[in-house]
Amino acid sequence: MRPAAGPGVEPGAGPERVEPVRRATGLLGEFNRAGVLGYADVHVARRLGALAGEASEEVALACALAVRAVRQGSVCLPLATVAGATAVDGLSNDDVQSLPWPSVAAWEAALSDSPLVAVGPEGRADRPLRYVGGLLYLDRYWRQERVVADYVDRAMRVAADVVDPDHLHAALDRLFVTGSRAPSPSPSPAPDLQRLAAVVAAHKRFSIVAGGPGTGKTTTVARLLALLQDLAGGGLRIALAAPTGKAAARLTEAVRDAGDRLPDQDRDRLGVLTARTLHRLLGSKRGARTRFWHDRDNRLPYDVVVVDEASMIPLTMMSRLVEALRPSCRLVLVGDPDQLSSVEAGAVLGDLVGRTVPGDAASADMVASAVPDDLAGLSDGDREAALRAGVVRLSKVHRFSKEIQELAEAIRRGDQQPELLEEVLDQGYSCIELVDADPASPGFPSESLRADVLASGRSLVTAAREGRAEQALAALEQHRVLCGHREGPHGVAWWAQQIETWLADDIAGYAKDGVWYVGRPLLVTANDYQLGLFNGDTGVVVAVDGEPRAAFRRDGRVDLLGPSRLSDVHTVHAMSVHRSQGSQFDRVTLILPPEGSPLLTQELVYTAVTRAKQYVRIVGTRDALRAAVRRPIQRASGLRG
């Protein structure tokens, strides 16, 4: 069980607004007036109570809090800890805990007698709430959680096909380099943990390749798939997928690039793979948001399914995916469990990485025999997770500096070892800057931030005006301002306007040529499959023979599109941290939310920092940064077991 979540709102938004409900009385009314419950929470609880003839105030409050939990990303409500774990913007913890919370005993007695609640796994299936093991669920989420948990437990108990050790070792020696075996002709040596991930996938129906940006996850996937094809003698039906169109396009390009570096026979056997969104993989039904053509009665026709950016997958989608897999299919999830999770309910990847599963002793022994005993950086706990739970966490970073890696690790461990952050900041690394000031204070911003904005802006505009689309797109990735909020002096809208003002003051004629002015940075906000553009893609308007054209990089090439063909695009001088997931920039500036913001979390800062390749600037008070790294998002779930 995980503790109840703190306040949560849609990523990029400001603090949650709670409207008073005039007709709410009793406990519902008191918690609503205190700011704990919103209109939707109260309305659902009152409506369900009216339909079932339930008059208990304790049941109504529990129901409303369960709805609130889902809105904030949790899938259930832990009754024993909810009072201490509920945070409300503008209220102290003492104020929240002073509210008339029912005792757990009173709650359990009321829920057990309620016509709204099914008690235990065997409780009635026609009730909207379910109470199991101290956790109160909206019943649909309990069922989805059980689908995922049952799939993982079943997959880990059953070993995959028998693997010939000699064949496996020969393929590993060709595809991976380790200190204990002969060198490979492959030009990109891989560390032992990548080898371990491939071995685990060869022996198990379900596995996870975890790790931060730049740890070689996609390279591992390509080699892992080549290994599986070799062991099967070719002919495996493989599907690549991701939660978003942007992530799917990036996965396609990355796997092809990594595949091109494989030995000839492995590259030919792997073939050309194209990733799709999960919605497209499962087959969306018109008018049905969470039901698909492929389900438990119409399974996907694949032998291997790999899903990238798995941290972004909510519980509902994960349950639909595993339902649609054939029993013999291997599922490999790839992602960073420390990043921000889905905007919907559930933190499935993090839960599965931390889940205790029974495992299969025989397959664990086979995996152990196929890898060296002295894997660098692998603790006994990590080894056990790999051998029994199928989880391999890659740790060697290839993409950004060791100093930024140190900062990211200090942030990731900040709730348990807060002193690590201070140690990194006190080193005075030239590639890490903390602007210890509130962005909303008079006299802000910092000159270093303005200098970065202008340097990248000048490069972009010069290249765009000269028609050099490739260089303009490269300039777009030189520096990016990332925000936690959407509005206010800490938000995307405010900073976008500030940056536009700086650029207009510095660059003659900037943004004077109408909406499609040359040098305008673009952000796609909706998928356009006809054009091959996806939500989150970025581009820039460039001059081509005196006419504006929108330049985007797709499949390793630059495409020029007429602006009239674009519909859902915005100007992107700044973006939310959540939207930046999967992107990388040379230099990153993070605008920290204020210290009291519910969005100021460890995951927000970690995600932003790991977008930077060369330099990271954090704008916000040192106290706000300290508060953030001590505050991991805690989504309540029963999935970890």
Write out pLDDT tens, residues 253-291.
888 888 888 888 888 888 889 888 888 899 877 666 667
Helix (H, G, I), strand (E, B) or coil at 263: coil
Q: Which phi and psi angles does 615 have, rounded to 5°? A: -155, 140
Percent of the chain with pLDDT over 70: 86
Query: Residues near 505 by Cβ (< 8 Å), separated by ≥ 6?
Result: none
Output the pLDDT for position 14: 43
Output the pLDDT for position 159: 65
204-219 burial, b at 16+ Cβ within 10 Å, e below that, comes to bbbbbbbbbbbbbbbb
d(Cα 435, Cα 447) in Å, to the nearest integer?
A: 10
Identity of the amino acid at 449: L
Strand partners, 618: 434, 590
Output the pLDDT for position 26: 87
d(Cα 481, Cα 500) in Å, to the nearest integer?
A: 12
144-178 burial, b at 16+ Cβ within 10 Å, e below that, comes to bbbbbbebbbebbeebbeebeeeebeebbebbbbb
Output the pLDDT for position 106: 93
Output the pLDDT for position 318: 94
pLDDT by residue (tens digit) across 351-401? 888 776 665 555 556 666 656 554 545 566 666 667 677 888 887 776 667
Output the pLDDT for position 598: 77
Angle at 328 (CA atoms; ends 326, 329), nearest 5 degrees: 65
For residue 536, is pLDDT > 60?
yes
Query: Residues near 486 by Cβ (< 8 Å), separated by ≥ 6?
Result: 12, 13, 14, 492, 493, 576
For residue 15, is pLDDT > 50?
no
CB count, 10 Å around CB of 254?
Answer: 18
For residue 628, is pLDDT > 80?
yes
pLDDT band for position 347 (cuts 50, 70, 90)? confident
DSSP 8-state assignment for residue 523: E
d(Cα 279, Cα 286) in Å, to the nearest integer?
A: 11
**Cross-sheet strand order for the sheet of 612-619:** 432-435, 612-619, 585-591, 479-483, 574-576
Q: What would the DSSP string read from start to end of 493-517?
A: HHHHHHHHHHHHHHSTTTT-S-TT-
Output the pLDDT for position 215: 80
Output the pLDDT for position 604: 92
Q: Comparing 84 with 106, which gets the higher pLDDT?
A: 106
Q: Which phi and psi angles does 282 have, rounded to 5°? A: -80, -20
- Least confident among 149-153, 213-217, 572-576: 213-217
- Considering Cα of 473, then 476, then 478, then 484, what sign does the dihedral take? negative
Q: Comparing 227 with 416, which gets the higher pLDDT?
A: 227
For residue 8, is pLDDT > 70?
no
d(Cα 148, Cα 146) in Å, to the nearest integer?
A: 5
DSSP 8-state assignment for residue 372: -
Percent of the chain with pLDDT over 90: 36
The CA-based dihedral angle spanning residues 520, 523, 525, 526, taken in that order and rounded to the nearest 10 degrees: 90
State the alpha helices, DSSP H only, in 160-239: 165-175, 192-203, 217-232
Using a 10 angstrom Cβ sphere, with 0-12 exposed, 13-18 middle and 19 or more buried, the burial of residue 492 is buried
For residue 559, is pLDDT > 50?
yes
Query: Residues near 227 by Cβ (< 8 Å), separated by ≥ 6?
Result: 168, 171, 172, 175, 198, 201, 202
Output the pLDDT for position 1: 40
Nearest to 425 by CA among 620, 135, 220, 165: 620
d(Cα 265, Cα 247) in Å, to the nearest integer?
A: 28
Mean pLDDT, range 617-630, rounded to an integer:
90
Contact in structure between 577 and 610 (CB atoms under 8 Å): no
- Least confident among 223-232, 352-361, 553-562: 352-361
For residue 122, is pLDDT > 70?
yes
Nearest to 366 by CA among 205, 200, 232: 200
Nearest to 560 by CA among 572, 551, 573, 569: 551
d(Cα 171, Cα 151) in Å, to the nearest integer?
A: 29
Identity of the amino acid at 634: Q
For residue 437, is pLDDT > 70?
yes
For residue 158, is pLDDT > 50?
yes
Identity of the amino acid at 543: A
Identity of the amino acid at 625: L
d(Cα 591, Cα 574) in Å, to the nearest integer?
A: 10
> Mean pLDDT in the chain?
84
d(Cα 254, Cα 145) in Å, to the nearest integer?
A: 31
Output the pLDDT for position 556: 67
Angle at 356 (CA atoms; ends 351, 359), nearest 5 degrees: 125
For residue 20, is pLDDT > 70?
no
Highest mean pLDDT of the ranges 17-21, 109-113, 590-594: 109-113
Using a 10 angstrom Cβ sphere, with 0-12 exposed, 13-18 middle and 19 or more buried, the burial of residue 561 is middle
Identity of the amino acid at 64: A
Output the pLDDT for position 584: 85
- The pair of structure tokens assigned to 202 is 């060869």
pTM of the model: 0.83
